[in-house]
Structure 1
Amino acid sequence: MAPPGDAPVLDVRGLSVRFRMRGGRFIRAVTDAHFTLAAGERLALVGESGCGKSVLASALLGLLPENAETAGSAVLSGGTDLLAADERTLARSIRGRKVGLVPQSPAAHLTPVRTVRSQLEETVRELLRTPRAALRQTAEEAAERASFPADHLDRHPHELSGGLAQRAATALALIGDAPLLLADEPTTGLDRDLVERTVDELARHTGDSRALLMITHDLAAAERIADRIAVMYAGRIVEIADAEDFFGARGPRHPYARGLLDALPERNFTPIPGMPPELGALPEGCAFAARCTRVSEKCRVQPQFEDAVACHHVSLDAPEALEAEHA
C-alpha cells in the first residue's frame, strides 16, 4: 500500500470486466479487484494462465475489445480514471506518457519492417516533441537506458534475439518517463538467464518516482523483483502479501497461493489437483472450493476480501486454530 499521506501512483477500486457474448451470456473475466501501487513499489500479479491477469492489464490501458464492459475505478496520481477515460485521452495523454507498456510479445509489438532506431526516433518525436536534429542522439540515449546495444539499432526486429527484442520494447516503454510501468508477462519464452536479466532491468528502472506492475505466471521472476505479491484466481484477487512473507517462513495464507508455491520444482513439486473453472461458468461461492483441501459448507458463499485475503478458513493459519482443527 502507499505510505500514509502519499497519493498512490495507481489506486484500483472494484475493477471488474465482463465480456458480453452472443445470446446475452456474460463471461466475468475480472471481478472486484482492489489494490494500490505506490511510487517506487513493484507489485507482481500472479496466477495460472487464463485467470484474468492480462485482461486486467488491458483494462488499465483501455485496450479491451468492444464487447467488454467495465466497472469500478483505476485512478492514476493526478486524478485520471483509466476506466472512465475516452480513447482520445488514453492515446494522447496516458499510453506512453503516464503508463509505459512492456508487452508480452515484444517481437509482435515492434513494427517488423522498421529498424529499432526508426521506431525509437518516432516514439521520441511523439512523446518528447524532440526536434528533428536531436532525434538520433535522443533515440540512442533511450536505447542505452535499456542496455540495448548501439550496434544493433539499425537491425529489424526479426534480426534480434528474444532478450534484445525485450530490451528494445523496454526502451520504448521508458521514453516517456511514465510514472507507471506495466509489464505484461515480460519473461514469456525466455530462458532462465534472460528471465533474470529482464526482471533485473525492470527493477533498475523502478525508481523513487516510478511504480511497476508486473503480470506473470513465473513465481521465480516475481520473487526476484517484487515488493508485494497479488494472487489472482478465476478472475478474483484472493491474496495480497509482502513478497518477503509470501516466499519466506510465513508463506501464503490462501490455499490456492500455497498450492502455487508447493507446485514449484524447488519446493514440494506437488501440483494443485483439478483444473481452474471456466470464467464463463464460475460456480457459486468460492471458485477454488472444488480443488481445496479445506473446503467446508462455508465455501458455498463467496468469501470477502478481508485482511488482504479472501478465504473463510484463513483463521486456521493461527497455531492455536490449527491445533484445534487436528484435535
Structure 2
Amino acid sequence: MPGGRRIAAVTEARFDVAPGECLALIGESGCGKSVLASALLGLLPANAQTTGEARLGGLDLLAADERTLARTVRGRRIGLVPQSPAAHLTPVRTIRSQVQETVSALTGIRGRTAVRAAAETAVARTAFPEDHLDRYPHELSGGLAQRAATALALVGDAPLLLADEPTTGLDRDLVEHTVDELRRHIDDADRALLMITHDLSAAERIADRVAVMYAGRIVEISDAAVFFGTPGPRHPYSRGLLHALPDRAFTAIPGLPPELGDLPGGCAFAPRCARADDACVTLPNLTETAACHHPHIPENSRA
C-alpha cells in the first residue's frame, strides 16, 4: 500500500476445482498466486481486505472467522504445502515430533506405537529419509524441508490440498516423485488439489486443468491436454509461458509485468504483446468455450 494507497493484488480470480481434480495455477512470480492461497486460508496481513466468496462445501472461507479457520479448516479441510517450508516448521522440535503431533491432532490415531508408525508412513510417501526424522529444521536442506512440509500437509487427508510451489528446491527425480504422490493423494479418495506453481513441467505432469494468472487476474482456464498439446493455449501470455518448457524453443516475453498499483486499462498484458489490437483496451469477462475459458483474444493471434 505505497503512500497509503490501496492496491488490488488479485482481481477477477474466478475458478473452481472439483473432487478428484488438479487445477494448476501458473504465472510469473509476483502475479498474485500466493496471495490468493493466503486469502483462502485467512493468512493475509491484518491490513488486507478481501471481497467476494470462496466456497468450500457450504463454508465461505473469506467470511469465516479465525476460530473457525484454525479449528475446522486449516489441516482438516485444507491441507497446505507452503511455499517457504522452513518458515512453517517449528525450529526447536524435530521433524519426527512435528509429524507425530500432526498425526495425533488430525487423524484420531492414539498410542505411541501407532502414532509413530503413522508418522513414518507419512514421511515415506514424500521420500523423506527415515534417518533424518530426528533432525531439526535448520539441519535440513531446502529440498528436505519441502518434503517434510509436504508430509505434514498429507497427514490430515483434507478434501482440498493447496500446494504452493511444492517442487521448490527439489531435483528433477524428486519433482516427479512429489507430483506423482500428490496425484495419488487426490485420486485415492476424490480429493481436490489446487497447485500453485511456476514449474510448467510439473503442471503438465499432474494437472487436469490449467489456470493462467497475470497481474492479479486469471486470463485463461483450459483443459491441460488442450493447453500443453493441441491446439494449445489461446492467450498470447499463456503461449509465451509455454516457451519456458525444456522441449520448446525458448523465446523471452519482452518487457516486464506492470506494477499492481499502476495497471494499464484493459488487458494488462497488452503493452508487452506484439499481437495487441484496439479491442485490448477493454477488459471483457472470462467466458467459456467447449475446450477452455478465455478472455478477449486479439484477432491476429487466433489460430
TM-score (norm 1): 0.85
Distance 1:131 1:173 in 2: 19
- On the 8 A contact 2:126/2:178 being kept in 1, the answer is no
Stretch of structure 1 that moved more, 136-145 or 222-231? 136-145
- On the 8 A contact 1:104/1:187 being kept in 2, the answer is no
2:14 is aligned, of 34, 46, 53, to 34
The answer for the alignment partner of 2:298 in structure 1 is: 313
Distance 1:314 1:99 in 2: 41
1:191 is aligned, of 146, 168, 171, to 171
2:32 aligned with 1:47: no
Distance 1:311 1:221 in 2: 28
The answer for the alignment partner of 2:67 in structure 1 is: 88
Count of residue pairs the alignment pairs up: 297
The answer for the alignment partner of 2:266 in structure 1 is: 285
Cα-Cα RMSD: 1.9
SS in 2 for 1:97: coil
Letter in 2 for 1:230: A
Once the two structures are TM-superposed, the CA of residue 167 in structure 1 deviates from its matched residue by 2.2
Distance 2:46 2:155 in 1: 29
1:68 is aligned, of 38, 45, 48, to 48
Q: How does 1:148-167 map to 2 (within 5 A)?
A: 148-167=128-147
Q: How does 1:92-111 map to 2 (within 5 A)?
A: 92-111=71-90
Once the two structures are TM-superposed, the CA of residue 299 in structure 1 deviates from its matched residue by 1.3
The answer for the alignment partner of 1:224 in structure 2 is: 205
1:262-300 deviations in whole A, cap 9, x for unaligned? 344431211111111011111111101101122121111
Letter in 2 for 1:237: I
The answer for the alignment partner of 1:17 in structure 2 is: none
2:107 is aligned, of 108, 113, 128, to 128
1:268 is aligned, of 246, 249, 255, to 249
Q: How does 1:194-273 map to 2 (within 5 A)?
A: 194-207=174-187, 208-273=189-254
Once the two structures are TM-superposed, the CA of residue 204 in structure 1 deviates from its matched residue by 2.1
1:187-222 deviations in whole A, cap 9, x for unaligned? 223332332222222222122321111101111111
Distance 1:126 1:315 in 2: 56
Greater strand content: 1
More contact order relative to length (CA 8 Å, sep ≥ 6): 2
TM-score (norm 2): 0.92
Distance 1:197 1:142 in 2: 14
Once the two structures are TM-superposed, the CA of residue 255 in structure 1 deviates from its matched residue by 0.7
Stretch of structure 1 that moved more, 157-166 or 28-37? 157-166
